Amino acid sequence: MKQELKKIQNLFSANKFELVIEKSKKMIKKDPSQIPFYNYLALSYRELGKFNIAEEILQNALKIKPNAQSVLNNLGANYRAKGEYIEAEKYLEQALSNNSNDINALCNYANVKRDKNEFDESIKYYEKAYSINSKISTIVINLAGAYQIVGKFEISKKYLEVFLKENPNNVIAHKLLSTITDYKTNNKHQNQMLTIIDKHSFDNLDAATLN
């Protein structure tokens, strides 16, 4: 079972969603109690834009295990993708009630709040996720981006600069920082970007993103 799950994980990472669907269905047929296969099946359908099918699969998984944290998270994210924010909040709040330090639930909930233009609430949940793990790039970038939306550019800049010290080749963080940096002669960040490009640390597409 573990070997099959690993194969499916690898296929999902390779964006081979049709194969993931095929193999996940077979594994669920063998053992309907295995929640991870429901998740990969639903996520593959979601990646293919089939949100209603993904929802049905996840709801079936909840019938088997009503408090499955991963399923609650995925349902919340799926409803968010459909723009059904009330439903998204309901499942993510249940996930956070089960585990208030669940980073996935915190970030998904923050994303919903951001989509609803509730930026202060969004920042609160991104901040909590950051306090748990400050190394995850998506948390840092979303948090910094949220601060930029509310006009708190210096706070955004602080988070990005700290992150880039340990992750100097992260293109998105550089791009986000460049939007709030006033470039003058011998600006440190500008020189850093030019040095990275000169050393070919980015591929051509990444270099173009910085221009």
How would residue 200 be classed by pLDDT, with cut points 50, 70 and 90? Answer: very low
Q: What is the average pLDDT score of the chain?
A: 89
pLDDT tens, position by position, 132-191:
999 999 999 999 999 999 999 999 999 999 999 999 999 999 999 999 886 555 555 555
Average pLDDT over residues 48-72: 96
Average pLDDT over residues 75-95: 97
How would residue 206 be classed by pLDDT, with cut points 50, 70 and 90? Answer: very low
Per-residue pLDDT, 188: 58
Per-residue pLDDT, 28: 96
Whether pLDDT at 202 is above 80: no
- Which one-letter amino acid corresponds to residue 201? S
List the CATH code of the domain at 1-62.
1.25.40.10
Per-domain residue ranges of the chain: 1-62, 153-211
- Regarding pTM above 0.75, the answer is yes
Per-residue pLDDT, 195: 55
